[in-house]
Structure formats: structure tokens, C-alpha cells
Structure 1
Amino acid sequence: MKVTEGYMPFGEYKTYYRIVGESKDGKRPLLLLHGGPGSTHNYFEVLDDIAKDGRQVIMYDQIGCGKSSIPDRPELWNAETWTDELIQLREHLNLDEVHILGQSWGGMLAIHYECTFKPEGIKSYILSSTLPDSKLWEKEQRRRIAYLPEDTQEAIRKADESHDYSTKEYQEAEGEFMLRYCAGPVDENSPECLRRPKNAGTQSYVTAWGQNEFSPSGTLEGFNFMDEIEDIKVPTLITSGLTDLCSPLIAKTMYDKIPNSKWELFEFSRHMPFVEENEKYIRILNDWLNKND
């Protein structure tokens, strides 16, 4: 498959993008918004096979991570910056009509974009393991912490009270939590795109979200579109894993509120069903995209 890489000027910085395949027969491109903030596009390369269906697949590193500019500018790390970048990227790549898939923070970005700007030309959204409200997310993660072993809970409690997240006990506790609800370890059997070294956006993550998944304290702490998502008219597919950070309660909340939405729950997945149940995810996604072109 043809792969094209390039950079878009973004103010005084630059945004890296990667385009796989070419769209044919009226199939609109699929634009992918990665999580984090700061997680990079890398894991989305497991969706390259979507392009075999005659559809262009576009992914990019949001400013602050990956192959894009990573300035030491904490004031940049907010939803407004990344939404502006998304708007400019659509213009730069002439994405007049497009499907948008946002995973985790990327889904928040898609929600912010849709509810704030009501953009034209969106054929559908795929909200993958994401959230409409930071407080709901925190509530669900805190509920799950209560099921961890007592010493693990205690390590998290101590870190919350002291704001010292550097201890071995806390690192192990957070690791256990993420192993259960985010992803398994990367090893020699993992896809190459997961094993590849990357420039993670640590500053953008901590500044925008916080120290961990269960303590939103950054610029996204007040993220809440619970009311606004009820007005989304664009066809919307919600995907999540059974043991996802995006718990079934969070996913069903979006499903109940977004009119005419569809929800696919992946039984054997955590936070990345497109990795853990790749073939099924691609099959469902292809079907959704073809129905909504």
C-alpha cells in the first residue's frame, strides 16, 4: 500500500501526518485522532489494512508528541490548541468529507470539535474508548481502584495525599491498574508499531490531563459535554472493551445520550480493541464506514 508522510506548518511549529492508501469509488477518508494527550499515532498503524478496502487512512501526531514539534510550552496543552490543529489539518489535506475516529483523548477531541464548531462534511464519528465527562471518568476509575489489593490501594492513596508519584510502590500500583484496564505488556510478539520507540508527550499529558488516568487535574479537568452530545446529529459508532478504562457504564452513557448511535462492546479487550481484537475491529469498522459514506 502507498504510504505518504509529510508535515503541516502549525503556527511556528509543525505537525507530522501519515497517509495510507488512496480513496476510490466515493469512499471518504478516515482520519484518526490518537489518545493521550501525547500517545502518538503509532498504535493506529494496526488499522492500515482499512486502506485495502479502497479507503484512505490518515493519522497524525498531535503537537506535543511523536514526530511533530514538542515545544516546552505548557500553555499550549489544552483542547483549544489541538482542536485548532485538527481544523487546520482538515484544510491542509483538503478533507472536505471525512470520517473521524478518536480514541481515548482523541475521542474527547472529536466531541469537543463537533459540539463546539458543528463542522461540515463529517460523514460519521467513531468514538473509541473515550468519555464525555472527566468527572464520570474519574468516578469509574476510583470505583475500580477499590477492587485492587489493599496494599495497591494504599500506595495510590499515599501518592494522592503527598502528590509524590515517584515511589516504587506507587509505580507498581499504577502499573497494575493499567495492566488490568489499559493494555498488556509489549513484547516480541506485539505489532512492530507498538514496539517502536516513540517520543511520548509527557508534558502535554501531565499538563492537560494529570499524573494518571484516575486523577484529572489539568486543563481538561473540567471537560464536560454530557448535555451537548445529546445534539449530535452525525452517525456515531461507540466502541469499547469489556475491561476498558472506558467502562461499559461510560460507553452506555454516550450510547444513551447520542441520538441514533450504535455501540460495539469488545468482550476480550481493554482500552485498545483495535489492537486486542484487530480483525473483528477492522471488519466492524469497514462495515460502518461503507454504510455511512
Structure 2
Amino acid sequence: MTVQEGFVPVTGGKVWYQIHDTGVNRTPVIVLHGGPGSSHYAMQGLRILAENRPVIFYDQLGCGKSERPTNQSLWRIDRFVEEFAQIRKALSLDEVHILGHSWGTTLAAAYMLTNPTGVKSVIFSSPCLSAPRWAEDQKRNREHLPEEVQAVLAECEEAGTTDSEAYKKATAEFNKRFVCRMDPMPEFLKEGAQYKNPEIYNIMWGPSEFHVTGNLKDFDCTSRLKEISVPTLYTCGRFDEATPESTEYFSSLTPNSKFHVFENSAHMPYLEEREEFVRVVNEFLTGVDESKL
């Protein structure tokens, strides 16, 4: 396998990218990581997909190995859509599959609604395509937490103390159930924290997964999912904060789509059920390439 990496100039700074290629002449897949303000770090295991096609990772501006400008006006979805288009052009990705995870699906959907050419398929992994619906789903998920944990979350949010240790500890209880159910949590995930940019997350989303106060709080593209006509795969974990109910609903609104639930996962099936995730993704992408879908 050859690994090529470098930087692409985009609006606001330079973005780091990495291409894994085993020489298989198939349409490449580009991975849009979660966040906002996370990085490709947790998803790097998906380089195994390069056994069947080139795989491209990049760290969105402001996080990972990309430049970290301090201009807060850069942290809005329209600029990230523009950034993605600039990366495709710079890397000559005339034809491409898109695999977005979590916030990466928000970005993928917003990008698809600009009517780009050359996108052969889209995978929405644990999608967030409606921030209001996401917030409602998390309200219900929180009801499954112990009452004392629910009380801490509510008190801190009301008092504006979401940066307190008590809130972080209560949030960790939510994460164990609905973000990653691996116990113990993989050590390498903790190491990945250094690549995140909490400022971007807070500006665009809010203080936690379930308390949406940022500039994405009104994002909702469900009424336009019918415009995405390429083959589309929706996936989520059975215990995902991107709930099976909402994920299946998004799929029902998308004309040429399939839906798959990973039965033993929360929000990170690509780690929690890695072999099964890779199998499902490969099967879908190969089917599109061979025009079986």
C-alpha cells in the first residue's frame, strides 16, 4: 500500500489529507469525520477499505493535523462545504464515494444539496440530518440514565455550569451508553483527544452531544433528502444517539437508499463492530461500482 499525505489550501488555512492506495482501480472513497472539530483519528482503521479502492482521509480546518486559525467566523457549515469542494478539486477526485460519520453526515448532506458532479454514492453513518430531531432523541435517551445523573445534567445546564467536573462526569455516563459501549474504552481513543478542537464544537454545536446551542441548532435538511438521488446507505448502531428510528426515517425520505443497523453498537460501529462495518460498507460500495444498485 502506498500512503501519500500533504496539505491543501482552503478558505481560511491549510488542510491535511492522507491517501491510502493499494493500486486497485476503483472509485475512491473519501471519509468525512465527525465533530465538528474532531479529526480523522478515531476513523483511521477504515484504511482497511483500501484493499478494494483508494481511501482518502482529511482533517477539517481547525483540528487534527490541519492548521488551526483563530478566526471564529470560519466555523460555519457553508465554509466546510466550500472546503470539501476545494479538497476534491485539489486532489482531482472527479469521481468519488462519500462516507460521512455523525457531523460528517451533516456536512455530506449539505454538500450533496449543492448538486455536485461525480459523486457515485453516499454513506450516512450515524447521521445527524436534523439538529432539532437529534435534540429530541437525546432527551429520550437521557431518560434511560440513572435519575441522579439526569438531575446533574439538568442542574448544570440550567445554571450554565456545563464546563464543571460534575457535568463532564454525568456526560461520561451518557457516552458509555449511547456513544461507545466498548468497556474498557480503547486507550487510543483517549490519545485522540489532543487532535480535537473544543472551541469549534462549542461554537457550532454546544457544550455536549445533547445540549445543542451552537450555530447548527436549527439545521434540518429532511425536507430536501428527496433531492439526493445517488445510491445511499444509512447505518447506525442499535444503541446509537443517532437512533435507529430517526436513521430509518431519513432513509425513507431518500429515493435510492438502504438502511442497516449494527446490533451491538452505539455511535461508533466502525470501532464497536469493525469487521461487520467494513463488510457492510464494502458490499455497498462494490455493488454501486458494479451497478448492481
**Are 1:132 and 2:123 matched, yes or no?**
no
Q: Distance in 1 between matches of 2:188 and 2:135?
A: 32
Q: 1:234 to 1:23 in 2, by over 3 A?
A: farther
Shift of 1:23: 4.9
Shift of 1:64: 1.2
**Are 1:85 and 2:91 matched, yes or no?**
no
Shift of 1:197: 5.9
Q: 1:67 to 1:238 in 2, by over 3 A?
A: same
Q: Distance in 2 between matches of 1:273 and 1:41?
A: 15
Q: Which runs of 5+ in 2 are unaligned?
A: none
Decide which of 137, 140, 146 is 2:143's aligned counterpart. Answer: 146
Corresponding residue for residue 272 of structure 1: 268
Decide which of 229, 253, 256 is 1:260's aligned counterpart. Answer: 256
Corresponding residue for residue 282 of structure 1: 278
Q: Distance in 2 between matches of 1:58 and 1:191?
A: 24
Q: Which sits farther off after the overlay, 210-219 or 99-108?
A: 210-219
Corresponding residue for residue 175 of structure 1: 172
Q: 1:180 to 1:121 in 2, by over 3 A?
A: same
Q: Which sits farther off after the overlay, 63-72 or 83-92?
A: 63-72
Contact 1:46–1:191 (Cα < 8 Å) also in 2? no
Corresponding residue for residue 111 of structure 1: 109
Corresponding residue for residue 45 of structure 2: 46
TM-score by length of 2: 0.94
Corresponding residue for residue 19 of structure 2: 19
Corresponding residue for residue 2 of structure 1: 2
Contact 2:182–2:272 (Cα < 8 Å) also in 1? no
Q: Distance in 2 between matches of 1:280 and 1:135?
A: 30
Shift of 1:11: 3.5
SS in 1 for 2:250: helix
Q: Distance in 1 between matches of 2:206 and 2:24?
A: 42
Decide which of 217, 220, 225 is 1:224's aligned counterpart. Answer: 220
Contact 2:105–2:125 (Cα < 8 Å) also in 1? yes
Q: Distance in 1 between matches of 2:49 and 2:135?
A: 33
TM-score by length of 1: 0.94
Contact 1:31–1:99 (Cα < 8 Å) also in 2? yes
**Are 1:214 and 2:213 matched, yes or no?**
no
Spell out, residue by residue over 1:153-184, the C-alpha distance to the aligned partner (whole angstroms, 9 max, x if none): 11111111111113332111111001110014
Q: 1:12 to 1:167 in 2, by over 3 A?
A: closer
SS in 1 for 2:88: helix
Shift of 1:260: 2.3
> Which AA in structure 2 matches 1:14?
K
> Which AA in structure 1 matches 2:7?
Y
SS in 2 for 1:227: helix
**How many residue pairs end up in the alignment?**
289
Corresponding residue for residue 166 of structure 1: 163
Shift of 1:185: 6.5
Q: Distance in 2 between matches of 1:93 and 1:41?
A: 17
Q: 1:281 to 1:194 in 2, by over 3 A?
A: farther
Q: Distance in 2 between matches of 1:194 and 1:292?
A: 36
SS in 1 for 2:194: coil
Corresponding residue for residue 101 of structure 1: 99
> Which AA in structure 2 matches 1:145?
R
> Which AA in structure 2 matches 1:84?
E
Decide which of 74, 77, 100 is 1:76's aligned counterpart. Answer: 74
> Which AA in structure 2 matches 1:224?
D
Contact 1:50–1:57 (Cα < 8 Å) also in 2? yes
> Which AA in structure 2 matches 1:290?
T
CA RMSD, 1 decimal: 1.7
Contact 1:40–1:198 (Cα < 8 Å) also in 2? no
SS in 2 for 1:265: strand
Q: Distance in 1 between matches of 2:24 and 2:137?
A: 42
SS in 1 for 2:4: strand
Shift of 1:195: 4.0
